[in-house]
Structure 1
Amino acid sequence: MSLSVARRTVTTPILLGLLLVAFALLALVVGSKPFNQTIIDIFLKVIFVVGLWVFIGNSGVISFGHTAFACLGGYIAAWTTIKPMLKGTAMPGLPDWLMGMEIPFWASAVLAAGWAALWALIFGAVLMRLSGIAASIATFAMLAMVNSIYSNWESVTAATSSVVGIPIVRSIWPYLIAALIAVFAAWAYGISRHGLALRAARDEPTAAAASGIDIPRARLIAFVISGAIMGMGGALYAHSIGIVTPDTFYLGLAFITLSMLVVGGMGSLSGAVLGVLILSSLIQILRWLEAGIEIGTTTFALPGGVQEIALGAVMILILMFRPAGIMGNRDLSLPRGAASDSQGQTGPKT
């Protein structure tokens, strides 16, 4: 990718980064611990959904299994940051060198990214040769496999029991920095020749193969990068709540993150981030309404379950009237005469 194109598209991650910073500043203004945790959750969802976009948005292959890499990352945080005494009680099967390890949370996030990337490479070497619905079902099988192993490996993962003692990080800044890293890494991949090659294979697979693009290899590169981002997010998720179980990173997280990507728009990085911000804001508003709001002497509260119904309705409406998502194939950019090419688009139209 030429330097001129990089300069033209860099406004996208900068604008998205400013939006995330605005949410962080809002948390400081409100000054509430519950609201602070809500903003942390939003930043974590941004990491996960951006990780999904790197693969799904560029390859066009729907993956139901990426939360498996978040699970791998979450347990790396547990294995490397919990006090050795607690690890010996909950996970006696850990090797001695891992049992005695105690590193900072940021180091565990880096290690988790590398560990998840390694397994993405191993799984992807097989899965990326598949296409369409077969590839999607195979990624779900990968998620089920990882969940089953971690749910039964009692001496190393405590099976379905909660692993406690993970140092909790309450400050929003590490999560903001990680979200910004994920956004800029995804943008850098999107404008790279690997990202362009994968989108070409997504839109015109026959022509791409005839042009010499190795489609399984192009998919594998995106799969590994997205796996690393998900692994980093999984470690930070563990540090945000101080506890992990295999089901923490299973179907619930898989479908909410995929929903956010669909609502925002799978065709652009901006859609991935805005999908998180919009749906997370809607979820928080509905939570407040379900908890009850006092109006004078009367407490107004929505009945339980409205949150799920509203989210379902939003998804249906988006899919009916905006199938490509809120942003479609467009990215945020500075308002100038002609819209610049976005990394989510397939190329200039003639």
Structure 2
Amino acid sequence: MAHTNKQKRLSAWSTPFLLIAVLVVFTLLVTFLGDNSLARMAAQTMIRVTFVVGLWIFVGNSGIVSFGHVGFMAIGAYCSAWLTLRPQMKGMFLPDLWPFLATAEWPVLPAAIASGLLASIVALLAGAAILRLSGIAASIATFAFLAIVYTVYSSWEGVTGATSSVVGLARYADQWVTLGWASVAVLAAAWYANSSSGLALRASREDEVAADASGINMYRHRLISLVISAFFAGVAGALFGHSLGVLNPNSFYLGVTFITLAMLVVGGIGSLTGAVVGVLALSIIIEALVRMEHGMEIGEVTYALPTGAQEIIIGLIMIFVLILRPAGLSGGKELRLRIGAR
């Protein structure tokens, strides 16, 4: 029996390493077989993996669909800008920053970690209220949180630049840096899913009444998962800003909320594998649609998709996946090695 349990644990822990191997192969293929634009797509894909895997830590284990995680992404993105921008740039674009931020010029790695920690602190405070709700009420509350963050960041002109773009961020987040963070996110998600808190949270997701009767503190475990989840959302925001070199509040609202939730749904909310597969699948489709919107030459005629077709097609993909495969492309199952199987 002990030997069987050990085999099961080893099999479960094979999942994150297999997924990281998939991410490495994807990045290598896109980088060395494609052009510069595909290399940038690989970086954006790894940022999405970091964010969606972070989102899965909460949504996949608690069963509560969160519309507010992009708010944590915005918090992380602007925190990194406050810490890494040159003081002269901050004086131009963000004149009302507090003195300790106005003069700060941190290295990019500590700034990314600090960005994740700030998002986690906000998640702890917001989650303390939101997570007393359940089901659709909690989901609506997360959307209200997103709306609050967006309103604050698009109005606080002297600190966030409001609707004006903040430029001048160091563009260090290439496909290799983002691959590293995506790998960390996958390992952290697997660790949490196999921890006592993750197991207890999934038990409460399946049957709240039975879990409560068994002494499981559902509220505490939800809050733990939200705090961990928000950390990676904040880091993804920092990477996003340092990938493009520019920030604007409009980058952190409904558009990215829809796309990232679509990735999670298409891949399968029920498994970590689904979160990664959904990002890879839709990222490839999005890149193809973007190129088709720019136009494809067939003979002497140029064909192009109309503007907005990308969102429509992704919406249709979501509908077909939900109809034909409700558990997502992964079927709710994990990619694992069958250790000890005969």
TM-score, normalising length: structure 2: 0.94
Aligned 8 A contact 1:266 1:325 in 2: yes
Contact 1:37 1:170 in 2 (8 A): no
Question: Counterparts of 1:324-339 in structure 2 under 5 Å?
Answer: 324-334=327-337
Partner of residue 229, structure 1: 232
Give the direction of change, closer, same or farther, for the CA distance of 1:165–1:321 in structure 2 (3 Å limit). Answer: same
Counterpart in the other structure of 2:74:
71
Equivalent residue of 2:101, what SS?
Answer: helix
Aligned pairs for 1:1-350 (under 5 A) are 5-30=8-33, 32-169=35-172, 171-334=174-337
Q: Name the SS of the counterpart of 1:219 in structure 2.
A: helix
Q: What is the one-letter code of the residue matched to 2:96?
A: G
SS in 2 for 1:294: strand
- For the aligned residues, what is the CA RMSD? 1.7
Q: Distance in 1 between matches of 2:34 and 2:63?
A: 41
The code of the aligned residue for 2:110 comes to: A
Shift of 1:288: 2.2
Give, in whole Å, the separation in 1 of the partners of 2:253 and 2:305. 28
d(CA) in 2 for partners of 1:337 and 1:265?
27
> Is the CA contact 1:266–1:328 (under 8 Å) kept in the aligned structure 2?
no
Instruction: Give me the TM-score of the superposition, normalised by structure 1.
Output: 0.92
Summarize the Cα distance change of 1:93–1:313 in structure 2 as closer, same or farther, 3 Å threshold.
Answer: same
Judged with a 3 Å threshold, the aligned counterparts in structure 2 of structure 1 residues 199 and 244 are, in CA distance, closer, same or farther, namely same
Deviation at 1:138, TM superposition (A): 0.5
TM-superposition CA deviations, 1:240-294 (whole Å, max 9, x none): 0111122211111111101110110000000000000001111111222232333
Which letter does structure 2 place at the counterpart of 1:239?
Answer: H
Query: Structure 1's 220 and 170: CA in aligned 2 closer, same or farther, altered over 3 A?
Result: closer
| Distance of 2:294 and 2:159 partners within structure 1 | 39
For the residues of structure 2 that align with 1:270 and 1:45, how far apart are their CA atoms?
Answer: 14
SS of 2:297's partner is strand
- C-alpha distance in 1 between matches for 2:322 and 2:196: 31
Gaps of 5+ in 2: none
Task: Tell me how far 1:333 sits from its aligned partner.
Answer: 1.4
Q: CA deviation at 1:179?
A: 0.4
Q: For residues 65 and 171 of structure 1, what CA distance do their matches in structure 2 show? A: 26
- For 1:129 and 1:93, the matched residues in 2 are separated by 36
1:337 Cα offset (Å): 8.3
- Structure 1 residues 16 and 144, CA, compared in 2 at 3 Å: closer, same or farther? same
Shift of 1:10: 1.5
Q: Distance in 2 between matches of 1:68 and 1:171?
A: 23
In the alignment, structure 1 segments of 5+ residues that lack a partner are 340-350
Distance in 1 (CA, whole Å) between partners of 2:284 and 2:176 is 19
